[in-house]
Amino acid sequence: MKMDVTSELYIDVQPKKISIALTEDKKLAEYQEEEQSVSYSVGNVYLAKIRKLMPGLNACFVNVGHERDAFLHYLDLGTHFASYAKYLKQVQSDRKNLYPFEKASIQPELPKEGSVQTTLQQGQEVLVQIVKEPISTKGPRLTCDLSFPGRFLVFTPFGDKVSVSTKIKSSAERARLKQIIERNKPKNCGIIVRTVAEGKRASELDAEMKVLVARWENILQKVQRAKELPTLVFEETSRTVGMLRDLFNPRYENIYINDESVYREVYDYVSLIAPERSNVVKLYKGNLPIFDNFDVTRQIKSGFGKTVSYKQGAYLIIEHTEALHVVDVNSGNRTRNKDSQEANALEVNLGAATELARQLRLRDMGGIIVVDFIDMKVAEDRQKLYEHMCELMKRDRARHNILPLSKFGLMQITRQRVRPVMDVEVEEACPTCQGTGQIKSSFLFHKVLEGKIKFLYYRLGMKQFTLHVHPYVAAYLNQGILSLHRKWQFKYGFGVKVIPSQKLAFLQYEFYDKNGQEIDMKEEVEIR
């Protein structure tokens, strides 16, 4: 398998959401969308109250402000829960002076075979961290064993132990890293050294440790001042920076961002963790939407449907159910291999595995995935397919487990699930008939647009704005030497721009001001 992959990151910042696309060799590999006002993200820390104990489940429900109570199992309390609980009372007892964390007394570890009703009380205040976001009908999942990841280190309060990633094989390097951390590690905290810390200087590690310790001290100050519960005391870093923290590769060719403030944020972060690579962060200033310009929109629309074509007519059918994800492999109308049906089945299945590995990352599919490959009678071919799938999944950062093909030709995969599956609606609703099946004449559409432009120009006094329309409509507006677009410019000024946008349906339109903020010009019948 090719290892030197060219990776590029594209970040599309919109008023209501941020979209992040990662491409490998120009093919879309990962895609994330997050609302600007998103809450209950993985890593957020809350000071909350226990609402209800569930002895039968050996768990409890905690009110963190979500419409559904969050779930906290006894085993997720962590071995240091008693130390957390005592120190929390000490912090809350004095609103003026913060009780030093270094002086916190370490309590006996929580026994694994204990029960929730003997450890917790209804109404008890606890410091909790989200480990799984709300999915479907389930609320967030919590832990009391807090951890704060950085680029090189992970900070764990009350851990008091230094661990080094097992992926660092050199015993000399492991000893060096451990010595550096133990030399400057504050009392009553644990540090996990991540794989990317290999070869890093002591100054870099010490600087990050200070940042993580300061983050923990800031949380304690918010806990001390908290008056109402639940209270958010720590919010995970922005999705953009958070993804970069885990994903950043020094071999990134480019990171394009279409928003100046987010560009500055990402530039500062990359300058901090890899100063020599800060030049890969670039501000996109093109007229076309950033995803359209780099062929991301087309790949999103072709990659998120129920049916995904991948090679010479072969395709996958992907279905999502409450319990699991089901994938069916079809050879379609591709040309059959003249040698044998078995060779043809193997070829189709290997291609399906390649596309499936990409789809799992792209859609962030978690839980149980069952794949119905085309039947193969030869045991060596089934083994070859299994090994090929395992090799492809090595790039996947999520924890996963793959079982060999069953007697029925089914492959079972489990993949870590921390967020809802990424599902992009690729089917376009009719923006003109609103489901009635009757529309106004499309030849009058340009008259509607001109009416909006006239209103903006004369009534609102706007001299510079951009009209985004479907590429087909943009082509119609720009055709000819004296196009409709040119006539509008002569009539309303050269500040009127027409931009084709692949994300819009046929007769949809969007207006933006000179600062890139959307102007709501939709009529009541269009807002449904």
The band of 427, judged by pLDDT with boundaries at 50, 70 and 90, is low
Q: Dihedrals φ, ψ of 325, to 5°?
A: -105, 135
Q: What is the pLDDT of residue 413?
A: 92
Q: Which residue among 298, 321, 342 closes a domain?
A: 298
In a domain, 103, yes or no: yes
Residues 259 and 204 in one domain: no
Percent above pLDDT 70 for the chain: 87
Stronger pLDDT, 516 or 432, i.e. the higher one: 516
In a domain, 164, yes or no: yes
- Distance, CA of 98 to CA of 225 (rounded, Å): 10
| Whether pLDDT at 205 is above 50 | yes
Q: For residue 476, give the CATH number of its domain.
A: 3.30.2320
Q: For residue 146, give the CATH number of its domain.
A: 2.40.50.140
Q: What is the pLDDT of residue 403?
A: 92
Q: What is the pLDDT of residue 221?
A: 87
| Whether pLDDT at 422 is above 70 | no
Q: What is the pLDDT of residue 524?
A: 41
Q: Give the model confidence (pLDDT) of 269-302 as tens digits.
A: 788 777 777 888 999 988 888 998 998 888 888 7
Q: Give the model confidence (pLDDT) of 332-363 as tens digits.
A: 765 555 557 888 888 889 988 988 988 888 88
Q: Dihedrals φ, ψ of 503, to 5°?
A: -80, -15
Residues 56 and 28 in one domain: no
In a domain, 422, yes or no: no
- Residue 165 makes CB contacts below 8 A (sequence gap 6+) with 192, 193, 194, 195, 197
- Distance, CA of 190 to CA of 205 (rounded, Å): 14
In a domain, 407, yes or no: yes
pLDDT, average across residues 440-450:
74
**Selection from 434, 453, 432, 435 nearest residue 497 by Cα:** 453
| DSSP states of 18-62 | EEEEEEETTEEEEEEEEETT--S-TT-EEEEEEEEEETTTTEEEE
Instruction: Point out the least confidently predicted range of 27-41, 281-295, 376-390, 490-504.
Output: 27-41
Stronger pLDDT, 55 or 136, i.e. the higher one: 55
Residues 186 and 281 in one domain: no
Does the predicted TM-score (pTM) go above 0.95?
A: no
Q: Which residue among 380, 415, 450 closes a domain?
A: 415
In a domain, 496, yes or no: yes
Mean pLDDT of the chain: 83
Number of structural domains, the chain? 4
The band of 331, judged by pLDDT with boundaries at 50, 70 and 90, is confident
Instruction: Point out the least confidently predicted range of 199-208, 433-442, 456-465.
Output: 433-442
Stronger pLDDT, 19 or 338, i.e. the higher one: 19
| Whether pLDDT at 23 is above 60 | yes
Place of tokens 């962030």: 364
The band of 468, judged by pLDDT with boundaries at 50, 70 and 90, is very high
| 8 A C-beta contact, residue 20 and residue 100 | no
Residues 49 and 185 in one domain: yes
Helix axes of 445-454 and 471-478: crossing angle, nearest 10 degrees: 80
| Whether pLDDT at 475 is above 70 | yes
Best mean pLDDT range from 30-39, 175-184, 260-269: 175-184
Instruction: Point out the least confidently predicted range of 165-174, 249-258, 424-433.
Output: 424-433
Q: Give the model confidence (pLDDT) of 30-63 as tens digits.
A: 888 776 655 667 788 898 889 889 888 899 999 8
pLDDT, average across residues 10-31:
84
Q: What is the pLDDT of residue 335?
A: 54
Instruction: Point out the least confidently predicted range of 209-218, 304-313, 387-396, 437-446.
Output: 437-446
Residues 160 and 228 in one domain: yes
In a domain, 384, yes or no: yes
Residues 199 and 348 in one domain: no
Residues 397 and 449 in one domain: no
Residues 70 and 145 in one domain: yes
Range of the domain at 25: 7-39+243-298
| Whether pLDDT at 441 is above 70 | no
SS3 category, 309: strand
Residues 257 and 175 in one domain: no
Q: For residue 397, give the CATH number of its domain.
A: 3.40.630
| Whether pLDDT at 485 is above 80 | yes
Q: For residue 275, give the CATH number of its domain.
A: 3.30.420
Q: Which residue among 399, 415, 431 closes a domain?
A: 415
| 8 A C-beta contact, residue 278 and residue 267 | yes
Residues 411 and 469 in one domain: no
pLDDT, average across residues 186-193:
88
In a domain, 270, yes or no: yes
Stronger pLDDT, 404 or 15, i.e. the higher one: 404
Instruction: Supply angle C-alpha 43, 395, 262, rounded to 5.
Output: 45
In a domain, 290, yes or no: yes
Residues 499 and 479 in one domain: yes
Residues 34 and 72 in one domain: no
| Whether pLDDT at 370 is above 90 | yes
Q: What is the pLDDT of residue 525?
A: 40
